[in-house]
Chain A
Amino acid sequence: MSFKPSNDLLQFTPKGIWCAQADVYIDPWRPVKKALITHGHADHSRYGNDAYLATETAAPVIKYRLGDIKMEAISFGKQISINGVNFSFHPAGHIIGSAQIRVEHKGEIWVASGDYKLENDGLAEPFETIPCHTFITESTFGLPVFNWRPQEEIFADINDWWRTNAAEGKVSFITGYSLGKAQRILQGLDTSIGKIYTHGAVENINEVIRSQGFSLPDTIRVTKEIPPKNYPTNLVLAPPGALNSAWMKKFKPISIGLASGWMTMRGARRRKAAERGFVLSDHVDWKDLNKAVLETGAERVIVTHGYTSIYTKYLQEKGLMAQAAETEFTGESIDGEEDKKDTIDEISKSKP
């Protein structure tokens, strides 16, 4: 990646999104001295930085994932000043604790939104519109084919599927990222249908979230000691990386469901050979992406990870000053790269 220094308040450098004036980085992908972290997903919150700053509700998971790091926590809306630049964190609605980072210097306001969604999912602090001059937005689902239905409808579909499987004596095996998607699915499940078992990677995050005071339905961690006959009619919640693993083999007869925005596409559903694809995403869909961009009032928009060049062109035609920026964020990947490492670690741990 070529980097040309500019006078922009935030610049896209080979290490990450850099505020030169304050010498801090937002979600850096190479080690830096001071990292401001929007949320705990692995592509935004990486190892190796000297110091971390994240919201109070995001910090526990980041600490759990990155281990012994120098972490400071900040509450939503609180402003801090670093070398004359004001920083504040505002809800992004993506997962619990996820933030957009507002950066203000001499009256100029930038917002780096990380990953976000507008729908209130009942767990993540609901997205707030932050007026700004320059808005940095993801474009994971920045195509007009992605239009989410309200989560209640999706949960109803998931519960119907579980009920049918239970009646047929099957295990309902559903996948979603261990951080965020898994808890969102959990709170939408109808616990009267049966028990909920969890993959270790999911349960570890559940424990962190519960210890923060969030209430989640009761779950049982899958262990070697549990006889396989206990699983049928119940539900197993696992990260995408567990799909078709040796770990999955003990659940039978099985019906597999995948919860992801990518399940919109028939090709993706068929490629994953999932019996059911549930279209559920923690990112904005097409209409909400446009709504969010419009409501910030930003005259300049920088488009990152996703359908970057397409969405940039679309905004330009709408008369906005839009540009694409290269980052190493991945957004929601169809194969669950985001937390693959966790999953593999867990699988190797749980092997007999």
Chain B
Amino acid sequence: MKRFAHLFTKLDKTTKTLVKVAALVEYFGAVDDQDRMWTMAILSHRRPKRTVKTSLLRQWAAELADIPLWLFEESYHKVGDLAETIALVLPPAEGQHEASLTQWIEVVKSLDKKEEEYKKKVVVDAWQGLTYNERFVFNKLITGGFRVGVSQKLMMRALAQFEDQDENVIAHRLMGNWTPDTITYEELIRAENPLDDISRPYPFYLAYALEGEAENLGSPEDWQVERKWDGIRGQLIVRKDNLFVWSRGEELVTDKFPEYLPLADLLPNGTVIDGEILPFRDGRPLTFNVLQTRIGRKNVTKKILESAPVILMAYDLLEYEGEDIRQKPLRERRALLEKVLAENPTNDIIKLSEVVAFDRWEQASAVRAESRTQFCEGLMIKRLDSDYKIGRKKGDWWKWKVDPLTIDAVMLYAQQGSGRRANMFTDYTFAVWDGDNLVPFAKAYSGLTDAEFNKITAWVRKNTKERFGPVRSVKPELVFELAFEGINKSTRHKSGVAVRFPRMLRWRTDKKVEDANTLEDLKQLLEVYG
């Protein structure tokens, strides 16, 4: 655990990628297979499940610190991180624990379904024997949230360096459903023939937002343009008569979309399709909102299947007749995709994402302009010669989204952020005018610079009207231009509308509170785009 805590401290101290990778490589070399494996798991969001409720941890920490629980909670609000707050309030360590990371994870796992008194004894004993940094890491293990400023990609790069392997090979080996409990390090990373995991997906290739004008991309002939569908990115795998559907978050979602089940029989084995899980009915996409009603539900009921049916909008083929074809250029992969879909009719469970025909960029631009009425987010622009890369890479794939909808709104409430933004007021609730009243309709917490957040934080402190725990109501005075991707009717919001992905475009210091938009303005947007 000392080594892992030390690694964590090192990673936390720097923002430099090279330094982070070097720290990881050094660490991978210093620990055994098991600790390395758990580190890889933690850094790729494969954590042991939570075995102690955080409410208990708070209670025990407050007790040990000899402070009332409310004071612990207030401290937590200010610090913004539970694991850190606990580590900070505890009295200095008494003993010295020497167990390894793997051993501590075993300890955490062993607490599952145990009596509360037993859990308390184990956790308190751990706290008392660990240094500050180790305590913090232990708390992170036990509470589950582990954001260390190291992306999965960096971890894979370091592991590739450590193993002297190609990064793409490592990335692919790390995909799928493994945990350190189900496979050894040797099997996962080093085995000649990796255990035949027929569910293993390919890493997704992600596009960057287009910067500047599309004309700058050069000749239209070199590019394929499609609509940017407003669903969930998915990878559909048929191997050995089995179907697997992965979401972009590397989550196996096969069971959530029973519509796809017939594909196990309809598609040939050794087929992997990249596409969009898209709500779709009567020949056209439904809004993302409809899909949202399905996400996160445990049971997919008949009612949901009827109200929110999905198709797969296919746009790429990654495996053909059992062969990984990601190195082939897009034009060839596309031809093979069309061939597979033509030869294996799927009753429209899969649809081919149509290519937008255009000779000049202005034409593409005109198609993009009508995206909203087509329930699309904009266009995708892909180089016809491009291979299928891993992760977010610049150059070959671009997303060209429609301009967001905007509205000027008044800040009504402010709340402190957490983590890096602890102690700053960064999360705001916004309202528009309805007659003489301000009606809240959206929350936003991104889009401003740190300097602006600092200024607003100082303003919030001086202009607080009331406090409700971490939330403060403020004088209605500040006006912001909010941008959002879509607007829908809502029965849950007082305003009657719900906006999608709202963020602050700019702080309108030039506008007075009475210049903000009205609910009527929002309803007009709803009329046009809802």
The interface of chain A, by Cβ under 8 A from chain B, is: 143-147, 262, 264-271, 273, 275-276, 307, 309-310, 313-314, 317, 334-335
B80 touches A267 (CB 8 A): yes
Write 5 A-B pairs (CB below 8 A) sorted by A numbering. A145-B75, A147-B88, A267-B80, A275-B14, A334-B423
Cα(A275)–Cα(B420), bound, Å: 14
Contact count band on B? 20 to 34
Additional pairs, 6, CB under 8 Å, beyond known A144-B67, A144-B71: A267-B418, A267-B420, A268-B423, A270-B149, A313-B70, A314-B68
Query: Which of A262, A267, A276 has a CB less than 8 Å from the CB of B13?
Result: A276
Known: A143-B74, A144-B71, A144-B72. A267 touches B12 (CB 8 A): no
B421 touching A267, Cβ below 8 Å: yes
- Closest residue of chain B to A146 (Cβ to Cβ) is B88
With both beta carbons as reference points, the residue of chain B lying nearest to A317 in the complex is identified as: B68
Binary CB contact string for chain B from 48 to 66 against chain A (1 if under 8 A, 0 otherwise): 0000000000000000010
Contact for A145 among B12, B70, B85, B454, CB less than 8 A: B85
Given contacts A266-B12, A267-B418, A268-B423, contact A144 B65 (CB under 8 A): yes
- Interface residue ranges, B against A (CB under 8 Å): 12-15, 65, 67-68, 70-72, 74-75, 78-81, 84-85, 88-89, 149, 418-424, 450, 454, 467
- Within the complex, the shortest CB–CB distance from A164 to chain B, in Å, comes to 12
Asked, given contacts A267-B80, A267-B420, A310-B74, whether A144 binds B89 with beta carbons under 8 Å apart, the answer is yes
| Interfacial chain B residues near A268, Cβ < 8 Å | 422-423
In the complex, the answer to whether A264 meets B450 with C-beta atoms within 8 Å is no
Q: Given known contacts A270-B419, A310-B71, is B15 in contact with A145 (CB within 8 Å)?
A: no
Report yes or no: A265 in contact with B89, Cβ–Cβ below 8 A: no
**Contact between chains at A271 and B421 (CB < 8 Å):** yes
Contacts of B74 in A (CB 8 A): 143, 307, 310
Q: Which of A147, A265, A275, A310 contacts B423 (CB 8 A)?
A: A265
Interchain CB contact under 8 A, B420 and A314: no
Of all chain B residues, the one with the shortest Cβ separation from A287 is B91
A93 to B81, CA, bound (A): 32
Q: Does B71 contact A145, Cβ atoms closer than 8 Å?
A: no
Cβ-defined contact, A267 with B422, below 8 A: yes
Identify which of A143, A262, A276 contacts B75 (C-beta below 8 A).
A143
Contacts of A273 in B (CB 8 A): 15
Chain A contacts of B420 at CB under 8 A?
Answer: 267, 270-271
* Closest Cβ neighbor of A270 among chain B residues: B420
- With a CB–CB cut-off of 8 A, which chain A residues contact B422? 265, 267-268
Q: Give the residues in chain B near A309, CB-CB below 8 Å.
A: 467
Give Cα A309–Cα B461 distance, bound, in whole angstroms: 13
A-B pairs with lowest CB-CB distance, top 7: A267-B422, A145-B88, A270-B420, A144-B89, A143-B75, A145-B75, A144-B67
Which residues on B sit within 8 Å (CB–CB) of A270?
12, 149, 419-420
Q: CB-nearest residue of chain A relative to B458?
A: A337
The verdict on A267 contacting B423 (CB below 8 Å), with A144-B75, A335-B454 known, is yes
**B12 contact set on A, CB distance < 8 A:** 266, 269-270
Distance from A122 Cβ to chain B, minimum over Cβ atoms (Å): 24
- Which of A144, A267, A271 touches B81 (beta carbons < 8 Å)? A267
- Contact in complex: A314, B71 (CB < 8 Å): yes
In the complex the two chains form, is A266's CB within 8 Å of B84's CB? yes
Closest to B66 in A: A144
| Closest Cβ neighbor of B136 among chain A residues | A266
* A175 to B81 Cα, complex, angstroms: 26
CB of B84 within 8 A of CB of A265, answer: yes
Q: Which chain A residues lie closer than 8 Å to B467 at the CB level? A: 309
Query: Which chain B positions have C-beta within 8 A of A269?
Result: 12
CA–CA, A307 to B67, complex, Å? 16
Min CB gap B485→A, angstroms: 28
Enumerate chain A residues within 8 angstroms of B418, measured Cβ to Cβ: 267
A311 to B526: give the CA distance in the assembly, Å.
48
Nearest opposing residue in chain A for B149, CB measure = A270
State whether A145 and B78 are in contact (beta carbons under 8 Å apart), knowing that A267-B423, A270-B420, A273-B15 are contacts in the complex: yes
Given the complex, which residues of A lie within 8 Å of B13, measured CB to CB?
Answer: 275-276
Cβ of A338 to closest chain B Cβ, rounded Å: 13
Which of B13, B70, B88 has most A Cβ within 10 Å? B88
Q: How far is the CB of A318 from chain B (nearest CB, A)?
A: 10
User: In angstroms, how far is the closest chain B Cβ from the Cβ of A255?
Assistant: 10
Specify which chain B residues have a CB less than 8 angstroms from the CB of A267 in the assembled complex. 79-81, 418-423
Q: Name the CB-closest residue of B to A275.
A: B13
Chain A residue with Cβ nearest B91:
A147
> Chain B's nearest CB lies how many Å from the CB of A61?
26
> Are B68 and A264 neighbours in the complex by a CB distance under 8 Å?
no
